[in-house]
Chains A and B, each alone.
Chain A
Amino acid sequence: MIAHALTWRRERRVLPGFGLSLGISLTFVSLILLLPLTSLVGQLSQLSWSQYWFLITDPRLLASYGVTLFGAAVAAIFNAAFGLLMAWVLVRYEFPGKRLVDALMDLPFALPTAVAGITLATLYSSNGWIGRLLEPLGISISYTWIGIALAMAFTSIPFVVRTVQPVLEDLPAEVDEAAMTLGASDSLAFRRVILPYLWPALVTGTGLAFVRSLGEFGAVIFIAGGKPYETEITSLMIFVKLQEYDYAGASAVASIVLATSLALLLAINLWQGRFIKRLHGGRG
């Protein structure tokens, strides 16, 4: 045993700094990610299972799950289509101002979400620039699920664009040329050749956008209005409970959001790994 440990120690890596860099990284991960999560679990431990169950199945909270999931799903589907289109335009065509549009794609990441929220709320409120035009048509966006989905879509679109874009750039023009020489129509070539190629990236990007939308707070609350049972999102419920100094209740809700997000991220990663493995030779 000891001899084995010694030989292991003597094996030196060629790249320097492994111990130091990994050490710093792990410390950092612990401080920034794990410590807050631990305190969340700490808060939860004050609750019994029945209390926990009672808290997370509160009808108002259940309604908020529905609103959040529905809004995030609509936003994700919208982003899948629109983000794919944006990535397509940015990769496949040359036009003046292309670099500017490319840079604008990152704006939702750079902009404080509260700023986005206020801007959207004023634009789409019944006397805002766009809201005023839509009101006579009987469409109201503020304080409805449409507004929620819109705000969620705004903050999460870069996920789709930025995951699809590099894959599309790697797609050789020869591949769709090959499809065309074989007599495929444009739509068939897109459906059967290009889309399957982009599929993993598109699903990953959409999944990330969905997860991000589930937890979105700043951009959504202003436009959502927060009517109980109708436009109240789950992250707002956490905020409400915190304002009432109900830390245990807030933690209970937060744990649900966290668990859902982690589960989805894990699922996306596993699925992507399997897909890529298949493309690179393995069968499953």
Chain B
Amino acid sequence: MSIRISQIEKTYGYKGHGSKGHGRTRALEPIDLDIHDGELIGLLGPSGSGKTTLLRIVAGLEQADSGSIHFGDRDVTRVHVRDRRIGFVFQHYALFRHMSVFDNVAFGLTAMPRATRPSSGEIRSRVMQLLEMVRLQDFAERFPAQLSGGQQQRVSLARALALKPDVLLLDEPFGALDAKVRQELRRWLRHLHEELHFTSLFVTHDQEEALELSDRVVVMSNGRIEQIATPDTLYRQPANRFVFEFLGDVNRIEGDIEKEVLTCGNARVAVPGIENGRQELLLRPHEVRLDEQPSTRAHLPVSVTAVVPVGAEVRLELEADWLGEPWLATISHADFERLAITRGKRLFAQPSRLHRFDTSRPQTLAPLSAS
């Protein structure tokens, strides 16, 4: 079922306190968001960006000050949470600890009014089917405290899906789990979604999680939507500096530009197609190349201060007196061996791309290619 959020607005604090900002905080600016049927949407943002508030408003656990929410054609703005037909998964599972796993999953079915409630046999087969789906059929009689975090979250998911909800909402579902289990559950949720095609909205502050799971990602900050895009677009064409900085590690270089050359202390780099004046340019760690010699277009002396040779790439930390804060660079193991990099080694950085966000549209510049 599709979800249409229009002009949802929320302010916290005491009502009736006249002036804005006095004991009141704006949690959500008016928000518009359309989610298609069967889409898996990630709400991504730092803490305090309003993503959880938005999710809870969609669930009906909180009320918006104004605006409306539609599930399909049904206006649910004033519908109580228990009648919205949503499934909700909490960060800390919120399982009923005095009930067995079976009773937890069966709760929604047994809570139905007698007239519409399925028979106990039907409930039994439905719950066992759900437990099989989350691969916990052998744990039906256990209590939540006897399960690991990942297993508890799977129970919580089965419980949320038991009533075949129109919409599945997840609040930082993997936030309380350790890295390996998180990876596994992510992949598993992705499969489950491909199989069942429920419309789903989940909140996360983890960029990787959002990019890996979502069909589209909604990036939020300070109660506003910064960008709505597919993971690929989001990463390659960030709408603004906030999105660019939030989606990964960022290196900065600031200096004066004259005749398409940026100078900063003893460092300089050619930046084709840029006007004169003071500028701050950004680049990702993988957009830094390293060489033993400066080139005609870039003279950026750096020294290596840390080496992390773990994973598919080698991560380096670079320092120089022309840099405010150290740069991060990721290079291939082949380059790492060719340059024989050790801590303290002096090298020259070659930025393959530079980004600027002070103009109305973000611009990407290529310093190494001749213009």
Contact = CB atoms under 8 A, between A and B. Distances in A.
A262 interface: no
13 contacts: A177-B88, A177-B94, A178-B94, A182-B82, A182-B162, A183-B82, A184-B82, A192-B111, A193-B96, A196-B99, A199-B98, A278-B143, A279-B143
Given A279-B143, A279-B145, A181 B87 contact: yes
B35 interface: no
B86 interface: yes
A47 interface: no
B143 A281 contact: yes
B98 A182 contact: no
Contacts of A62: none
Interface string B184-216: 000000000000000000000000000000000
Interface residues of B, number: 27
Contact of A183 (B96, B112, B145): B112
Contact of A181 (B82, B97, B143, B146): B82
Task: Please tell me the size bucket of the interface on A.
Answer: 20 to 34
A179 B107 CA distance: 8
B59 interface: yes
B76 interface: no
Given A177-B88, A183-B112, A281 B146 contact: yes
A107 interface: no
Contact of A182 (B61, B97, B159): B159
A180 B59 CA distance: 10
Given A184-B82, A279-B143, A279-B145, A178 B90 contact: yes
B96 A175 contact: yes
Contacts of A172: 92, 94
B46 interface: no
A174 interface: yes
Interface in B129-166: 143, 145-146, 159-160, 162-163
A185 B82 contact: yes
B239 interface: no
B274 interface: no
B94 A175 contact: yes
Given A175-B96, A279-B97, A181 B145 contact: no
Contacts of A193: 96
Given A278-B143, A280-B145, A281-B143, A182 B108 contact: yes
A177 B159 CA distance: 13
A263 interface: no
B81 interface: yes
A204 to B, nearest CB: 15
Contact of B81 (A181, A197, A280): A181
Given A192-B111, A197-B98, A280-B145, 7 more contacts: A175-B94, A175-B96, A177-B61, A177-B88, A188-B111, A196-B99, A281-B145
